[in-house]
Amino acid sequence: MTPKRSSRQQPAAACPCGLAETYEQCCGRLHRGEAAAPTAETLMRSRYSAFVRRDEPYLLRTWHPRTRPARVDFDPGMRWTGLEILATTDGSAFHTTGTVTFRASFRGGSLHERSRFERVGGAWVYLDGEFLD
Could you list the residues that contact Zn ion (CB under 5 A)? 15, 17, 19, 26-27
Min separation Cβ 5 and Zn ion, Å: 30
Q: Which is nearer to Zn ion, 125 or 133 (CB)?
A: 125
Shorter beta-carbon distance to Zn ion: residue 20 or 65:
20
Count of positions (residues) in the chain: 133
CB 73, CB 66: distance < 8 Å: no
Within the chain, residue ranges assigned H as helices are 27-31, 40-53, 56-61
CB-nearer residue toward Zn ion: 3 or 42: 42
Cα(52)–Cα(82) distance, integer angstroms? 9
As measured in angstroms, the least distance from the Cβ of 96 to Zn ion is 23
Min CB(52)–Zn ion separation in Å: 10
Which residues are 89's β-sheet partners?
Answer: 99
